[in-house]
Amino acid sequence: MVEVKAGDENVGEAVSRDRNWEIDHKTLATLFLDKGDVGRAAEEFEKVSSLPQQPGAAIYAAEGYGLMGDSMRSESLAHAAQLELGASKAHMSALRLRVRADILSRRGTVP
């Protein structure tokens, strides 16, 4: 059994020690969303987004940070996701709106 650590950690090292790291942290991020903790969810999604196969997690992190008022971090993560996905501005805007709606529906209110 490996402890799932919320917050700052070296993702590369953690993934090399735990083959379930990715799914565990996506699950933790979703749990934070479901409990209304958008900030901690954004942190976990940002960590997951550092993996090359997870650009969608960056969109959740971006929208979470945006809802928390950190527009610079939000835009940086959204831009990185857009490049990784090869998405047009219109497609990215639609994705961001869908993700924001999902976050707000899980949380029930605006932060």
**SS3 state at 7:** coil
User: Token match 């749990």: residue?
Assistant: 31
CATH number at residue 96: 1.25.40
pLDDT tens per residue, range 5-35: 888 899 999 999 999 999 999 999 999 999 9
**SS3 state at 109:** coil
What pLDDT does residue 55 have? 87
Q: Which domain holds residue 65?
A: 13-107
pLDDT tens per residue, range 46-95: 999 999 888 899 999 999 999 999 999 999 999 999 999 999 999 999 99
Answer yes or no: is 81 within a domain.
yes
Answer yes or no: is 3 within a domain.
no
Q: Is the dihedral of CA 39, 49, 98, 27 positive or negative?
A: negative
Structure-block tokens of residue 39: 């900030």
Answer yes or no: is 17 within a domain.
yes
Number of domains the chain contains: 1
- pTM, entire model: 0.90
**SS3 state at 67:** helix
